[in-house]
Amino acid sequence: MATIAEIADVVELQAWASGRPETSGSLKALLQAALDNVSEQDAETLAQNLMDEFSSRQQLLGVAYPFDCDGYKLELGHTEPQNTTYLFCLGLSLLPSAEINNDQRSRQFETIVMNAAKQFFGADGLRIGAPWHTEEFPTYGALLDRVIDLIPDLGEKLRENAPGGGDGGWDVLIVKGFKDEKFPRLIALGNCATGRHDWRQKGFETSACWFWDFFSHKPHNVYLTFFAVPFVMDEEIRIKKHAPTNLTFDRFRICEFAPLSIEGAAEWLSGQKEQALAIPII
């Protein structure tokens, strides 16, 4: 059987899609219909456990949580919930894979992660993962020029094309410097993963040293890495991904520092209500 947290995710996404509140009584009825041979008392206990989970999430995230829960009823608490990062991450976590294209998995999610990391570190940021081509960066060389703008002691770029047409193995660059623009500064490289079946095996496929080989000088700075996913990390996975110089950003941490998503993400999510309502609660 699914965990309380997993069931709560589905209930939240469907409460948004239907626009209807869920009460302890309605959740009890849903659980009784979905579970074979569940007693009325057990269904009532599960329903209350779900309400406790919603209340806990609301207490943790505050205004970044798009619902209101008083312990007995869950209802939308945001005027434009489709614009919230929380619901976008729920969509990436639960909607059928066929409904999630590369734009949601890369450009949109990585941009939201970049926004969260910029707020967390109080720093400048740049999305450096593929697909990187934009009006601002028509070539990979132009993207590397922007990296040099952020970290001048890198010297000159040593390549004009992305390796294999892809990227340097990292999705987000964060740079926190001083007004004198001299080293050492804080640099954080981030990887993102959205595949719900394999994200636990992701996180550090490429050494940061390889990316710095794209430039004529190695920067004398302080380095961190981070790993970001739209899912909720439990204690076991946080321990697995822990390192003295590595941070983790899960759904809650991303929403804490980037409560609102971006325009394209909101538009995609708004078209997914029918798919959301078709997801089994268990």
| Assigned domain for 274 exists | no
Whether 41 and 110 share a structural domain? no
Compute the Cα dihedral for 58, 44, 31, 23 and give only its sign.
Answer: negative
Whether 178 and 60 share a structural domain? no
Ramachandran region, residue 179 (left: φ > 0; alpha: ψ -120 to 50; beta: rest): alpha
- Alpha-carbon distance of 104 to 194, in angstroms, equals 9
Whether 182 and 226 share a structural domain? yes
pLDDT tens, the chain, 282 aa long = 789 999 999 999 999 999 999 999 999 999 999 998 889 999 999 999 999 999 999 999 999 999 999 999 999 999 999 999 999 999 999 999 999 999 999 999 999 999 999 999 999 999 999 999 999 999 999 999 999 999 999 999 999 999 988 999 999 999 999 999 888 999 999 999 998 877 877 777 778 888 999 999 987 899 999 999 999 999 998 898 888 999 999 999 999 999 999 989 999 999 999 999 999 998
Q: The domain containing residue 244 runs over which residues?
A: 102-258
Whether 109 and 63 share a structural domain? no
pLDDT at residue 82 in the model = 94
Whether 136 and 198 share a structural domain? yes
| Assigned domain for 272 exists | no
For the range 25-28, what are the long-range contacts, defined as Cβ-Cβ under 8 Å and sequence gap of 24 or more?
A: 27/51
Whether 107 and 240 share a structural domain? yes
Locate 63 and state its tokens: 């205004």
| Assigned domain for 46 exists | yes
pLDDT at residue 269 in the model = 97
Q: How many structural domains comprise the chain?
A: 2
Neighbouring CB atoms inside 10 A of 136's CB total 9
Locate 165 and state its tokens: 């047409």
Whether 74 and 118 share a structural domain? no
- What pTM value is reported for the model? 0.95
| Assigned domain for 30 exists | yes
Whether 251 and 119 share a structural domain? yes
| Tokens 């899609």 sit on residue | 17
| Assigned domain for 90 exists | no
| Assigned domain for 85 exists | no
Strand partners, 224: 188
Whether 114 and 9 share a structural domain? no
- Alpha-carbon distance of 118 to 126, in angstroms, equals 9
Whether 163 and 62 share a structural domain? no
- Alpha-carbon distance of 109 to 191, in angstroms, equals 11
| Assigned domain for 267 exists | no
pLDDT at residue 165 in the model = 84
Whether 42 and 143 share a structural domain? no
Whether 186 and 54 share a structural domain? no
| Assigned domain for 86 exists | no
